[in-house]
Amino acid sequence: MFGLAAGEAILRGMERKTRQRDAVCGVFERESRPLSPLEVLQEAQRELPTLGIATVYRHLRSLVEEEWLQLVELPGVPPRYERAGKHHHHHFHCHGCGKVYELEGCTGGFASLVPDGFELESHTMVLHGRCAGCTHAA
Amino acid sequence: MFGLAAGEAILRGMERKTRQRDAVCGVFERESRPLSPLEVLQEAQRELPTLGIATVYRHLRSLVEEEWLQLVELPGVPPRYERAGKHHHHHFHCHGCGKVYELEGCTGGFASLVPDGFELESHTMVLHGRCAGCTHAA
DNA sequence: ATCTCTGCAAATGTTTTGCATCAGC
DNA sequence: GCTGATGCAAAACATTTGCAGAGAT
């Protein structure tokens, strides 16, 4: 058994410090909201206009592997990414502007909904509506 | 203003009774679980092997417009479809077999998580884990 | 006979990958 | 200078659409 332990990353990669990597990380350091790959590209291109979308995807994947970012999957929209290491929380998806916001807290009590024989491991909760900006604009 | 009222479908279509439409509807009448387009195709092809995926997509969309089906969007996986007209409920996603199950009931109490100025319109809740079949198999 | 529906293939949108070149170390 | 990272373009994957022909009414 010469292989890697279970869960150990095969492809680590992207460990070199480059302007592209700095640009991607910088976006997340300036913005607390979970961001889509396109949002990251557009924001990072303000600093580095030649940045390509493939590089953004590669860094997002790599930063998730390094546990510097966390993948945020939401129903029916492209995935978002946020800084890892936050407390348990959920998200609000505004269908006016499409932005996703972090919410604090959790109502809990989900175990009672699970049928016999099913094993509950985690849960996802997304609140949908209009954010403050879009409520006022409408 | 000769147009259609808000919400009225522009493209109704698919109102003709065909073997393809019967095959798609039949799958949902036999299966209570929310199904992905591919699950619908594979099940319907047992009855009608020449059925194409494009036709499945067209009927799924049309049946949602007719409010015979309801779209079920889940984080990070292709959308599912279930019979419309059910009571408010949520879903369980098994990461063993990938199947989605309907859950009864709702814990409620989400409004307290929403920041000031945000307008809450709906919520999505998905429980993740292993279904009875996958728990026993593992 | 008409007009819609179907299946195929091509188009679309998103994400991934191959590869020659560029740049960090 | 070596090796990994980048940008482009092509590939992959899921979904939608154009179109000619089949089928429902």
How confident is the model at residue B11, as a pLDDT? 47
Using the predicted structure, report yes or no on whether residue A63 has a pLDDT greater than 80: yes
Let me know whether B15 and B77 are in one domain. yes
Please report the pLDDT score of residue B1 as a whole number: 44
Residue A138 belongs to domain with CATH number = 3.30.1490.190
Q: Could you tell me if A76 and A17 lie in one domain?
A: yes
Same domain, A104 and A133: yes
Residue of A nearest to B130 (CA): A119
Please give the pLDDT value at position B120: 97
Q: Which residue of A has its CA nearest to B124?
A: A126
Q: Is the pLDDT of residue A111 over 50?
A: yes
Q: How many domains is chain B partitioned into structurally?
A: 2
Same domain membership, residue B94 and residue B41: no
B136 to chain A: which residues are within 8 Å by CB?
Answer: 117
Give how far B118 is from chain A: nearest CA, Å.
5
Largest CA distance in chain A: 62
How many of the other CB atoms lie within 10 Å of CB of A32?
Answer: 12
Are β-strands A100-104 and A89-94 bridged in parallel, bridged antiparallel, or unpaired? Answer: antiparallel
pLDDT top residue among A48 and A4: A48
Domain that holds residue B121: 87-138
Residue B123 approaches strand D within 7 Å at CB: no
pTM: 0.89
Say if residues B33 and B100 touch (Cβ distance below 8 Å). yes
Q: Looking at residue B44, which CATH number applies to its domain?
A: 1.10.10.10
Please report the pLDDT score of residue A15 as a whole number.
84
Mean pLDDT of A70-86: 96
pLDDT value for B137:
77
Are B138 and B75 contained in the same domain?
A: no
Percent of chain A with pLDDT over 70: 90
- The answer on A94 and A72 residing in a single domain is no
Q: Tell me the pLDDT of chain A averaged across its residues.
A: 90
Whether the beta carbon of A37 falls within 7 A of nucleic chain C: the reply is: yes
Of A84, A107, A124, which marks where a domain is finished?
A84
Chain A contact probe: residue of B32, B102, B103, B107 with most A CBs at under 10 A = B107
Q: How many residues does chain A have?
A: 138
From B110, B123, B131, residue closest to A118, measured CB to CB: B131
Residue nearest to nucleotide C25 (CA to C1'): A16
Residue B106 shares a structural domain with residue B47: no
pLDDT at A114 over 90: yes
Task: Looking at the structure, tell me whether residues B29 and B46 fall in a common domain.
Answer: yes
| The pLDDT value given to residue B136 | 83
Same domain, B15 and B63: yes
Per-residue model confidence as pLDDT tens digits over A119-135: 999 999 999 999 999 98
CA angle A18, A22, A28 (to 5 degrees): 155
Q: Is residue B44 domain-shared with residue B12, that is, in the same domain?
A: yes
Are residues A57 and A123 located together in one domain of the fold?
no
Minimum-distance nucleotide, CA of A77 to C1': C14
- HEC secondary structure over chain B: CCCCCCCCCCCCCCCCCCHHHHHHHHHHHHCCCCECHHHHHHHHHCCCCCCCHHHHHHHHHHHHHCCCEEEECCECCCCEEEECCCCCEEEEEECCCCCEEEEECCCCCCHHHCCCCCEEEEEEEEEEEECHHHHHHC
- Same domain? For A17 and A45 the reply is yes
Which chain B residues touch A115 with a CB distance below 8 Å?
Answer: 92, 101, 103, 132
pLDDT at residue B2 in the model: 40
Residues (pLDDT < 70) of chain B are 1-12, 138
Q: Which helix (H) or strand (E) holds A37?
A: helix A37-45
Give residue numbers, 72 to 91 of A, with CB < 7 Å from strand C.
78-79
